[in-house]
Structure 1
Amino acid sequence: MKVATFNIQNLFHRHTDMVELEYEIKSEIWKEEFESLFSKSQKTSLDYNRMRELANLLGFHQAPHTSYLSMKNIEGSLHVKSSLQVMETKASYLSNWNGWTRLKSVPITKKAIFNKAKVILEVDPDIVLLQQVENRESLIQFNKSFFKNNQSTYSEIMHLQGNDGLGLGMGILLKKGYHIKSVKSFSNEKDAKGRLLFNTDFQKYKIKTPQNKTLHLLCCQLAGESESDSLRRKQANKIAEVYSDLLSQGAENIIIAGTLNAPSYAASTSTILETGVMDIVKHDSFDVMLDSGNDSSYFRMGAYRMGVNIKQKDYLLVSPILFDKVEDSGLNRKAIWPLKKPEWETYDSVENEKDAASEHPLLWAEFKLEDSIRLYKKSA
């Protein structure tokens, strides 16, 4: 059984608020890189090419992103135009409305969508937990477009929207033989002051495996780095409480997966790790292509591990009993564009930032689950 978790950062379209926030964060990195290249006394052709890319990203040579859509009635046809596309649809002759409307989302590039699927297809998990999925319809279409005619067909799909209102819901895909027995969302959970505890969501799945084993999956996305540490701590406390309750009820196979938005040493999420849950990156089988050059032997504070010097925000945490059943594990970051050093090998289809599948890696682990006695009796 192979389980993966992936903060996919939406499938086909992303809310404009998220795009603008990410641009603000990245622009500081782009500015530093541009200034560094610009100050070099001798520049290579690669330096000039990169400066041109950065100039476009920083808006030196292009109109700034517009979040508005213009509409105009011309001779009975409604003409719709944005910075992204032009299309024409028929409108009633009685309708003579001209104006504009605010766009709530922008489309993700075809290359980026393809690379999102490529990451999942390469790992080929039996169960994949996805964070930041805009809606169920998109998840169904994503599955149909990339997995339906593949041996990696996912037969069960679930999507639950959270509290954010920005299309950052969570989804789960399961292959044939794996069945969702129950699901619970903690989106209505409130803190001591009566406010919603999870600004996105925290979800609990009960899965039946082909080996007739029960698997409990706790999928989460905690408050972002720009948000309060105290809020993240409260959210982490609830997750730790649910995990501990499952252990007290005799559950053995438990996974906590998702984006905690904090490094492993952070106090705000310490209550989760203090339950005794095990981080998959610490398993001997954990494998990932290392950073290039000297960075392959470097261990940055807050990174996943030595040679994997990207800041850890995403986790695949498993109960001690399940940790002993791990046969293989790893991390796929081939569709992440390195904004700055350290660098690592990427897919040929990732040529720039816009082609990146996500800013997050996919984490996975493969477990050996022996068939239960009850299953043998049933098949006898």
Structure 2
Amino acid sequence: MKLAVYNVENLFDRAKAMNLASWDEGRPVLEKFAELNQLLGEIDYTPADKSRMVALMRELGLEKSDTGPFVILRRNRGGLLRRPRPGGIVIEANGRADWVGSLELRYEPVNEHAMRNTARVMIDIQADVLGVVEAESRPVLSAFNTEILPALGGEAFRHVMLIDGNDERGIDVGLMSRDGYPIGTMRSHVDDRLPNGQPVFSRDCPEFEVTTPSGNRLLVLVNHLKSKGYGGMAASNAKRKAQAERIAQIYKSLIDNGETNVAIIGDFNDTPASAPLAPLLDETDLKDIFEHPAFDDGGWPGTYGLCNASNKIDYILLSPGLFDRVQSGGVFRKGMWPGSRPRRWDAYAEVKRPADAGSDHAALWAEIDI
């Protein structure tokens, strides 16, 4: 069985703020969006809340219209605000119950070459079980599977599953598997909470039960942990550490209940020696596929960007029972921008510039005798 994981960075559509030339341009927009969304969700609006809402709406381009360059304010019923003729914004609602609507990100199509190169990676790694990170939704993932993969000469996966998570940007995690590898019981952790009542997982930590043709059972947990680039560093590290601690608890519970074949895969947004990932990497018996003697890193230690050691952020972690059955493994980078001076690896001919890359992430794979 070949197990793989790939951060596809959206398939058809991506939030406009995430499609800007650099993360430094998009991050302020996403942070203001998150802050305004939180304020709009408060039960009661204080004068300070209203003042801050107005400031954020102006910064997001909503002063004259409910449609800004990166966000849309949908007002279905009730009176959230008014815009006087002289200009400006006045918040009239006194709390969330006074109006019906939502604040949403605006989306735009993904670069066509990038979309096709994403599909080429999914085809060429020839995975039996593929964990997918940053997919918009199950209908989108299913459509990509049945429409785009066959159009490029690939075979569609037999099973496609994705559970909507906590992220409002349409970047969820899911699983795809071939005929003979049915997805059985699924368990979501979308409602796991921190002591302060906030969700543990930025997206989710779904457990997927997969049965192999030989009748063995495999549990795959797909993850996308808190990024470093969105929010303050201390808060981001604390969130990522809490997520790693919870995943470790889930894993230990599975092992205590007799499970032996467990894989935890995904984009963890941090390096192996980082303190936030220590509860998962140092305090469990999980093994990183990079540590297996039969694993080939392709000459570069990382999995993101130009694949330096500081960009080793994608993982396939295996329980000892699975790790001992690994026959081979590797990093698939043909869909990534290889750099230009010099080109670091062979890429698809269609990857002529960074925007054409299927993803900034490599796909990881492991061939396991199970």
Question: What TM-score comes out, normalization by structure 1 length?
Answer: 0.71
Amino acid at match of 2:17: D
Contact 2:105 2:169 in 1 (8 A): no
Q: Does 1:12 align with 2:28?
A: no
Tell me the equivalent position of 2:210.
Answer: 207
Q: Does 1:188 align with 2:191?
A: yes
Contact 1:152 1:175 in 2 (8 A): no
Regions of 4+ moved over 4 Å: 65-69, 148-151, 339-342
Q: Does 1:132 align with 2:141?
A: no
Amino acid at match of 1:262: D
Tell me the equivalent position of 1:178.
Answer: 181
Q: Does 1:362 align with 2:363?
A: yes
Tell me the equivalent position of 1:234.
Answer: 242
Tell me the equivalent position of 1:53.
Answer: none
Tell me the equivalent position of 2:31.
Answer: none
Contact 1:217 1:256 in 2 (8 A): yes
Q: Does 1:283 align with 2:284?
A: no
Contact 2:244 2:279 in 1 (8 A): yes
Q: What SS does structure 2 have at the residue aligned with 1:267?
A: coil
Contact 1:148 1:154 in 2 (8 A): no
| Superposition deviation, residue 17 in structure 1 | 2.8
Contact 1:8 1:358 in 2 (8 A): yes
Tell me the equivalent position of 1:247.
Answer: 255
Amino acid at match of 1:163: N
Tell me the equivalent position of 1:309.
Answer: 308
User: Deviation per CA, 1:4-47, whole angstroms, max 9, x where unpaired?
Assistant: 001110001101232248442799xxxxxxxxxxxxxxxxxxxx
Q: Distance in 1 between matches of 2:321 and 2:186?
A: 23
Structure 1, unmatched stretches of 5+, are 28-64, 70-101, 292-298, 370-380
Amino acid at match of 1:185: S
Q: Does 1:108 align with 2:107?
A: no
CA-based RMSD of the aligned residues comes to 2.7
Distance 1:340 1:240, change over 3 A: farther
Contact 1:289 1:345 in 2 (8 A): no
Amino acid at match of 1:330: G
Q: Does 1:325 align with 2:333?
A: no
Q: What SS does structure 1 have at the residue aligned with 2:223?
A: strand
Structure 2, unmatched stretches of 5+, are 28-67, 73-103
| Superposition deviation, residue 340 in structure 1 | 7.2
| Superposition deviation, residue 113 in structure 1 | 0.8
Distance 1:168 1:153, change over 3 A: same
Q: Distance in 2 between matches of 1:23 and 1:106?
A: 16
Tell me the equivalent position of 1:78.
Answer: none
Distance 1:103 1:132, change over 3 A: closer
Question: What TM-score comes out, normalization by structure 2 length?
Answer: 0.72
What are the equivalent positions in structure 2 for 1:147-186 lying under 5 Å apart?
A: 147-148=149-150, 152-186=155-189
* Greater fraction strand: 1
Distance 1:202 1:111, change over 3 A: same
Q: Distance in 2 between matches of 1:242 and 1:103?
A: 32
What are the equivalent positions in structure 2 for 1:68-107 lying under 5 Å apart?
A: 104-107=106-109
State the identity as a percent.
Answer: 31
User: Deviation per CA, 1:106-125, whole angstroms, max 9, x where unpaired?
Assistant: 11111111100111211110
